[in-house]
Structure 1
Amino acid sequence: MNCGHVALIGRPNVGKSTLMNHLLKQKISITSRKPQTTRHRILGISTSELGQIVYLDTPGMHGNEQRALNRYLNRTADTTLLGVDAVVWLIDGLVWQDYDDIILKKLEQTGLPVILVVNKVDKIKDKENILAFFDEAQHRFPFKCLLPISALKGTNLEKLEAALLPLLPECGLIYPEDQITDRSERFLCAEIVREKLTRRLGAELPYSVTVQVELYEELPHVTKIYIVIWVERSSQKNIVIGTEGEMLKKIGMDARLDIEKLIGQKVFLKLWVKVKKGWADNERALLSLGFNE
């Protein structure tokens, strides 16, 4: 069998998490329309009769490293390239961005086989432009394969997996065939809460918010989960809670329903909002909040 690790890389918000979820036919990575929703390296396992592909969903590669959190996200994406057998590079649209040249240099240094994928192809009206873009791309880098896909609609995902398998070494299964991820339910529940925060809140606030599980207790008929939502300023705390607690109630309800689907049991979810000043710009605070990959 062909089995190995594949990194999903690209700029923020190009659809890496959506792609992995649809490849696995199960939601592992949280998604939203806001860039940099993914903050941790998320592992997703796809096993078939032909082999096993271990996908690594990574934070978006970007040039803004002013804050400690941004530097952490880039480090996480970069170090993922050190331990994989192949790379899928997602691009949104048919235009090269400035940071794409930096990504190209990183890929050249690894010597890894790379598949270039243009996502959201359903939004491109003139399909001939795709061929012209691929022709230009092949002159920039010796890609093993170039594919137009739609992660959301599942277009060409089988072709992507078929192109990946021959790039992986021949070996036995890396993980049991029924395993989907290496992440715990505790971690996935925290991510679900952060997803609801990201979707409910305004454009900027999600980048000043993180979550931390304080209690995860599995009882015979209910699972108790206590989660702290950390913000950087008191004014942000008020926004997350909302008028008479309405925003926090909506976030909690959205999250609880998804968590119950995930673990298959009734959930008692309790959320608190606390202030940790400047946590996103403090390396020590990041470590204490679980940013330690």
Structure 2
Amino acid sequence: MTEAHKSGFVAIVGRPNVGKSTLLNRIVGQKIAIMSDKAQTTRNKIQGVYTTPEAQLIFIDTPGIHKPKHRLGDFMVETAYSALREVDAVLFMISADQKRGKGDDFIIERLKSQNTPVFLIINKIDKVHPDELFAIIEDYSSQMEFAEVVPISATEGNNFDRLMEILVNRMPEGPQYFPEDQVTDHPEYFIVSELVREKVLLLTRDEIPHSVAVVVDSMKRDENDKVHIQATIIVERDSQKGIIIGKGGKMLKQVGTKARRDIEHLLDDKVYLELWVKVQKDWRDKKIHLQDFGYRKEDY
């Protein structure tokens, strides 16, 4: 007798910058969530799909929970909380090389009222001595009871297979929601815009904070199957526009070159990418601009 097929939804929560997007990208085997050493780079719930013959798990990477400073921040935190209301398991992710802080305590208080199992995922174990893990586990376990504690390295892959095995065992019986070769439910243009935004954050470092959005204006294939993409990078100030364009357009060209490589890998096709930069003052605090740039209330 064959075992019943299992499926379920899993939310990944945690403070900004603990490696949630890195874990999601490892789960699906390719980049769908942007990675940056800047905090709060994830803005929407990004769904990644993990499929085996026996099970299908749909993962939701939530924005890092933090104290909001503007409407975009409110959106990000509410998005994280809404993810908790619709899942079969929650992964509370922490970083082994960071001490428990107010942000972690804030999330723990919220998780205590969860009816679904909460797993403590200790990431970046490659950054600390194994002996240090016992104290971390003891510290967090004294705050609340976890279904299980799983130390991993999302970057190196340590203990990753064990984590997936534990989660599959915990999932209820259910159907396969997505085709086996589908890794996300986001449209291609969303991931394309995220890959461009990642390169802006990567190359401009501290000069361009989170006041950058990317809108894909068009995506078309020509008769040779080459994908033509036109996208606009939105910033809040003229000075930021100057930084992103760079001297003689050098910075914008670098952003385009790096983004194009990732997009070609994603689409498995040749890509022609055209980028523009536009100033939209204080867009993060204006509801109409948030909606225009893809942050819609109905998403949470």
Contact 1:197 1:206 in 2 (8 A): no
Q: Paired residue for 2:37, among 26, 33, 39? A: 33
Percent identity, please.
41
- Write the distance in 1 (CA, Å) between the matches of 2:165 and 2:205: 40
1:204 shift after superposition: 4.9
Matched with 1:280 is: 284
Q: 1:24 aligns with which of 6, 22, 28?
A: 28
Q: 1:139 aligns with which of 131, 138, 142?
A: 142
Provide the rounded CA distance (Å) in 2 between the counterparts of 1:211 and 1:40.
Answer: 13
Cα distance in 1, alignment partners of residues 112 and 244 from structure 2? 43
Where does 1:102-121 land on structure 2 (aligned, <5 Å)? 102-121=106-125
Q: Which moved more, 1:267-276 or 1:138-147?
A: 138-147
Q: Does 1:196 align with 2:199?
A: yes
Q: 1:76 aligns with which of 76, 79, 97?
A: 79
* Amino acid in the other structure paired with 2:255: I
Query: Is 1:8 the counterpart of 2:12 in the alignment?
Result: yes
Distance in structure 2 (CA, Å) of the matches to 1:54 and 1:103: 22
In the alignment, the residues of structure 2 paired with residue 112 and residue 183 of structure 1 have an alpha-carbon distance, to the nearest angstrom, of 25
Q: Quote the offset at 1:177 in angstroms.
A: 1.9
8 A Cα contact 2:207 2:243, kept in partner: no
Alignment of 1:188-267 (within 5 A): 188-221=191-224, 222-267=226-271
**AA in 2 matched with 1:155:** N
Tell me the SS of whatever aligns to 1:95.
Answer: coil
Q: Cα distance, 1:270 vs. partner? A: 0.7
Q: What SS class does the counterpart of residue 205 from structure 2 fall into?
A: coil
Equivalent residue of 1:201, what SS? helix
Task: Describe the SS at the equivalent of 2:210.
Answer: helix
Per-residue deviation, 1:34: 1.2
Q: Which amino acid is the alignment partner of residue 179 of structure 2?
A: P
Residue 71 of structure 1 aligns to a residue whose secondary structure is helix
2:214 maps to amino acid: V
Q: Which secondary structure state, in structure 1, belongs to the residue aligned with residue 206 of structure 2?
A: coil
Deviation, 1:259, is 1.1
Deviation at 1:136, TM superposition (A): 2.7
Instruction: Output the TM-score relative to the length of structure 1.
Output: 0.96
Residues in 1 aligned to 2:110 and 2:287: alpha-carbon distance in whole angstroms = 24
CA contact (8 A) 1:43 1:55 kept: yes
Distance 2:143 2:137 in 1: 10
Q: Per the alignment, in what secondary structure is the counterpart of residue 206 of structure 1? A: coil
Quote how far apart the aligned CAs of 1:138 are: 2.0
Shift of 1:137: 2.0
2:180 and 2:253 map into 1 onto residues whose CA distance is: 38
Greater CA drift, 146-155 or 108-117: 108-117
- The whole-number CA distance in structure 1 between the counterparts of 2:103 and 2:193 is 31
Cα displacement string for residues 130-182 of structure 1 (whole angstroms, at most 9, x for unaligned residues): 11221232222110110111000000011111111222111121222221111
Distance in 2 separating the partners of 1:88 and 1:18: 14
Alignment of 1:51-62 (within 5 A): 51-62=55-66
Q: TM-score, normalised by structure 2?
A: 0.94
Q: Size of the alignment, in residue pairs?
A: 291
1:156 maps to which residue? 159
- Cα RMSD, aligned residues only: 1.3
Q: Can you give the 5+ residue segments of structure 2 that lack an aligned partner in the other structure?
A: none
1:265-293 deviation line (CA, Å, top 9, x unaligned): 22111110011000012222111111112
Structure 1 residue aligned with 2:93, among 83, 90, 93? 90
User: Could you list the per-position Cα deviations for residues 30-67 of structure 1 after superposition, in whole angstroms to 9, with x for gaps in the alignment?
Assistant: 1111111111111111111331111111111112x121
2:101 counterpart letter in structure 1: Q
For residues 132 and 80 of structure 1, what CA distance do their matches in structure 2 show? 30
